Amino acid sequence: MDVHSNVDAPVLDGMIGDSPPMRDVYQLTRRAADSQATILLLGETGTGKELFARAIHELSSRATGPFIRVNCGALSESLLESELFGHVKGAFTSAVDNRTGRFEAAHGGTIFLDEINSVSYKLQVKLLRVLQEHEFERVGDTKTIHVDCRIVAATNRDLAELVDEEKFREDLYYRLNVVPIYLPPLRDRGDDVPALVDFFLHKYAKENGRPIPRIDPKALRMLQMYSWPGNVRELENYIERAIVLATTDLITEDLLPQHVLGKAPVRWGRATMRDLPTICKELVTHGLADYPEEDNVHSNVVAMVEKELILQVLRQCHGVQTKTASRLGINRNTLHKKIEEYDLQSESR
């Protein structure tokens, strides 16, 4: 659903929102799709990686071919190997027939490898060969199969950090990371929340046979202030919940979960806007900051809390920026800028 059609907002079909971070993603996606390069989608859970993988396929010269999705984190090593490459009859106990793997099925199209970080070290060798040579053997067979398919991979982990920990092959990482596309978390694109809310209100009102409700401005404001650890998927769930519970045609604050309203802890320890004054006072009490200037309270308090949070996580991660960025849920470039902004270079390496 293309909710914005003007030429200045290059929103992709099926995407919602035209905030600056998303405009950058749309532009990069269009440019990358019109190539044969391997693409690595980076982002937290719930940011829409599969949606972008499908968009890449549909915008490419392979659009008429198959789009095959494999969740690498949902299967054990042996099952995933068979799923990806297929097997021949008798390859193992339950192999009663020959089976075509997902790479063969994706011939002429695109294969989307979700949660690529979950693939075992041993299986990564076979993946590397497919990327380099476009060939493989089925499990239990010696016949080499050649395949022509485009690979789009996705991860919610920092693969560079996994390489440092020797859990992910460095050569495979560089093969996958030809065109990396970072999908921003919902907390970094608050301007898109109203459009997303409107879309989900229409979707779930129709599914539940209800009239399309309006959303109270106060409730919408709370949704925009929330930190969204579960991203768009979490927002979708809360809108569906509100529609199911609503007794009128107005979605009000009381239909939202308590933690969204700042009345209960937020997952992952992220602070809500309601927590900031308390945190600020605690920082002052412990001598970690001065009271902010009266004429700029909000921005000073936010900066104060952000600096202290980054400092604490840097220390917990022994100054390793890749690990710190992963824990904070931001990319490394953003972290690097924040470190310079708050003069925290002595804490990082």
Return phi, psi of residue 238, to 5°. -70, -35
Contact (Cβ atoms closer than 8 angstroms) between residue 116 and residue 175: no
- Among candidate residues 19, 47, 42, 43, the one with its CA nearest the CA of residue 230: 47
Tokens of 135: 């060939």
Q: Tell me how far apart the alpha carbons of residues 85 and 103 are, in angstroms, rounded to a whole number.
A: 6
CATH 3.40.30.10 fits 20-184, yes or no: no
Pairing of strands 214-215, 67-71: unpaired
When mean pLDDT is compared over 80-89, 167-176, 252-261, the highest value belongs to 167-176
pTM of the model: 0.72
Q: Say what the pLDDT of residue 273 is.
A: 41
- Please state which CATH class domain 271-347 belongs to: mainly alpha
For residue 152, pLDDT over 80 is answered with yes
pLDDT tens readout for residues 181-227: 999 999 899 899 999 999 999 999 999 999 999 999 999 999 998 88
| Two domains, one topology: 20-184 and 189-263 | no
Return phi, psi of residue 307, to 5°. -60, -45
Would you identify the CATH topology of the domain 189-263? Helicase, Ruva Protein; domain 3 (1.10.8)
Q: Which residue has the tokens 């008429």?
A: 64
Q: Tell me how far apart the alpha carbons of residues 265 and 282 are, in angstroms, rounded to a whole number.
A: 17
* Helices 193-207, 217-225: inter-axial angle, 10-degree rounding: 120
Q: Say what the pLDDT of residue 7 is.
A: 37
Q: How many CB atoms lie within 10 A of CB 190?
A: 15
Q: Tell me how far apart the alpha carbons of residues 136 and 85 are, in angstroms, rounded to a whole number.
A: 7
Structural domain spans, the chain? 20-184, 189-263, 271-347
pLDDT bucket at 280, cuts 50 / 70 / 90: low
Q: Say what the pLDDT of residue 41 is.
A: 97
DSSP line for 96-160 = -S-EE-HHHHTTTSEEEEETGGGS-HHHHHHHHHHHHHSEEE-BT---EEE---EEEEEESS-HH
pLDDT bucket at 317, cuts 50 / 70 / 90: confident
